[in-house]
Amino acid sequence: MTDAPVRTLLLWCPDWPVLAAEVVDGVPATGPVAVLHANRVVACSERARVEGVRRGLRKREAQGRCPQLTVVEYDPGRDARAFEPVVAAVEELVAGVEVVRPGACAVAARGPSRYLGGEEAAAEQIIEHVAQTCAVEAQVGIADGVFAAGLAARTGRVVPPGGTPAFLAGLPVEALGRPALADLLRRLGVRTLGDFAALPAGDVLARFGFDGALTHRLAAGRDHRPLAVRRPPADLTVTAEYDEPVDRVDAAAFAGRALAEQLHDRLAGHGLACTRLGIEAVTAHGQELHRVWRHDGLLTAAAIADRVRWQLDGWLTGSNGRGGAGRARPTAGIIRLRLIPDGVIAQAGLQPGLWGETGEERERAHRALSRVQGILGPEAVFTAVLGGGRSPADQVRLVPWGDERLPARPGGPPRPGESARPGEPPWPGRLPPPAPAVVLPTPLAAVVHDADGEPVVVSARLRLSAPPARLTLDAARPMEITGWAGPWPVDERWWAPAEAHRRARFQVGLANGTALLLVVEAGRWLVEAIYD
């Protein structure tokens, strides 16, 4: 390590939290905007600053100074996400970028200044490129060390080599970014970084501790920390372009297979496996079809080729399985096929079983089920996953075969004598076992009469008009009710009017030995499930 601090170029985007809110949430940064954390302003837009909003103000105070202020909650994740394209844009021009914090990134100045023809020219080009690709305004400062470069970027200065201590000496102690220390130094009569740097290092360490000693070195322009350069993520996407548009599904699947093998080699080279795979096809007329496939195991080349075929099959036949308009059929052949691995994990995480469940039988079953998927389409073979929920239909989620088995709602099936397991919602109001063996996908309308032949009504206070005596199912003969229990009320999602349900459930036993799960909603009786 050399004694001299690294000459650093730092790109700084002023008021980044505000800009991030504009990029991600669409809050216009030209208006008065303040980003608040714990009721204090952490950043504000230029308009808000003109109106007198400052960092550290309380929300009420800030709104008092600027009544039309738009207030945004501080979200470090949003800031970091929004900064990613900016970093990518900088990486297009220079190598070895360190993200200092969302809103600021640093590079070693030596390379770009030689390549782009001088430090000023490099700074200009980087600002220009960022503005063009991300529509983000930025400033660049160049100095010796990241700390000094950060301060130089505030004023957009290029500090000449060796001039950093002199540049720092003129700045007030608040520039250290440690308010408590700055306050103390001021009361001790130390007003600028130059004054602070002039103090003997040993005394500073004794009086202010390690952090004080570190800031003392920074103030003196001795910032030896090397850049922690970010490693750009490996590009695992594989793409194939076809000069001759591919217009047959089997030909595309064949091409997909070759591509899949390429992807496998690339993933294996990095020791990785992917659990999700995006397949993107582009036609000669620029139509795009993108779909993400999930898989709980490793997608083999054959499995990828299958999925390419299914996806294109569905596209070419114009139907998307679920009726409706579907998407338009492509008007030309496919010229580009791209496989984008997603959910990449280390290969070591996938360990096939030694024997038992994951042996030969599993392989055989997988082959057979994949074959059925080939015949009927991917969305025809399912496995069921049990989750939480109050009705028997809510508790089950059908997952297409091969996808990740995740329940639709958190929580497991009810167990006798056991309340909710820790970390799982209790789902009060769900039915205890036994569960019905027949769950109707669409409930069946029923009519329930009392002994006098009047329809049975449940009031808002769950009072029955009369005990139910007969049940009629779609124009069949009425059946006598021998036993019944209920009403068990369920009031779900009342906070979301579109999805709200207010129901009362009944278990009903009929004279012929059948037992049904009935539900009353808005005065209508429905058969939800049959205890077959």
Q: Enumerate long-range contacts of 149-155, CB under 8 Å, 24 or more apart.
A: 149/8, 149/9, 149/10, 149/106, 150/10, 150/12, 150/100, 150/104, 150/106, 151/175, 152/10, 153/10, 153/11, 153/12, 153/104, 154/12
Q: Does 523 bind other proteins (CB under 8 A)?
A: no
SS (H, E, C) 41-54: EEEECHHHHHCCCC
Q: Does 451 bind other proteins (CB under 8 A)?
A: no
Q: Does 486 bind other proteins (CB under 8 A)?
A: yes
Q: Does 356 bind other proteins (CB under 8 A)?
A: yes
Q: Rounded to the nearest whole angstrom, what is the least distance from the CB of residue 365 to other proteins in the complex?
A: 4
SS (H, E, C) 74-97: CCHHHHHHHHHHHHHHHHHHCCCE
- The sheet carrying 139-144 orders its strands as 97-101, 104-108, 7-12, 139-144
Q: How far apart are CA 205 and CA 43, in angstroms?
A: 33
Closer Cβ to other proteins, 125 or 383, answer by number:
383
Beta-bridge mates of residue 288: 282
Q: How far apart are CA 31 and CA 49, in angstroms?
A: 11
Report CA-CA distances (Å) from 191 to 54, 176, 197, 380: 22, 12, 11, 74
Q: How far apart are CA 80 and CA 19, in angstroms?
A: 11
Q: Rounded to the nearest whole angstrom, what is the least distance from the CB of residue 492 to other proteins in the complex?
A: 18
Q: Does 368 bind other proteins (CB under 8 A)?
A: yes
In terms of Cα–Cα distance, which of 24, 25, 47 is closest to 34?
47
Q: Does 483 bind other proteins (CB under 8 A)?
A: yes
Q: Does 439 bind other proteins (CB under 8 A)?
A: yes
Closer Cβ to other proteins, 278 or 413, answer by number:
413
Draw the binding track, 370-409, toward other proteins (x: CB under 8 A; -: no contact): -xx--xx---xxxxxxx-----x--xx-x--x---x----
Q: Given the rule CB under 8 A, which of 129-137, 242-250, 322-330, 486-494 is the region that contacts other proteins?
A: 486-494
Q: Does 237 bind other proteins (CB under 8 A)?
A: no
Q: Given the rule CB under 8 A, which of 1-9, 236-244, 256-264, 479-487 is the region that contacts other proteins?
A: 479-487
Q: Are the CB atoms for 41 and 54 separated by under 8 Å?
A: yes
Q: Does 351 bind other proteins (CB under 8 A)?
A: no
Q: Tell which one of 189, 512, 522, 523 touches other proteins (CB under 8 A).
A: 512
Draw the binding track, 59-88, toward other proteins (x: CB under 8 A; -: no contact): ------------------------------
Q: How far apart are CA 146 and CA 155, in angstroms?
A: 15
Q: Rounded to the nearest whole angstrom, what is the least distance from the CB of residue 317 to other proteins in the complex?
A: 15
Q: Rounded to the nearest whole angstrom, what is the least distance from the CB of residue 40 to other proteins in the complex?
A: 50
Q: Tell which one of 271, 432, 453, 523 touches other proteins (CB under 8 A).
A: 432
Q: Which residues contact residue 234 at a Cβ distance below 8 angstroms, ignoring those fewer than 6 apart?
A: 270
As given in the structure block, the two tokens for residue 350 are 């996938």
Binding residues for other proteins, total number by CB under 8 A: 66
Q: Given the rule CB under 8 A, which of 110-118, 134-142, 149-157, 366-374 is the region that contacts other proteins?
A: 366-374
> Which residues sit at the interface with other proteins, rule CB under 8 A?
356-357, 360-362, 364-369, 371-372, 375-376, 380-386, 392, 395-396, 398, 401, 405, 413, 416-417, 432-441, 461-467, 482-488, 507-509, 512-515, 529-532
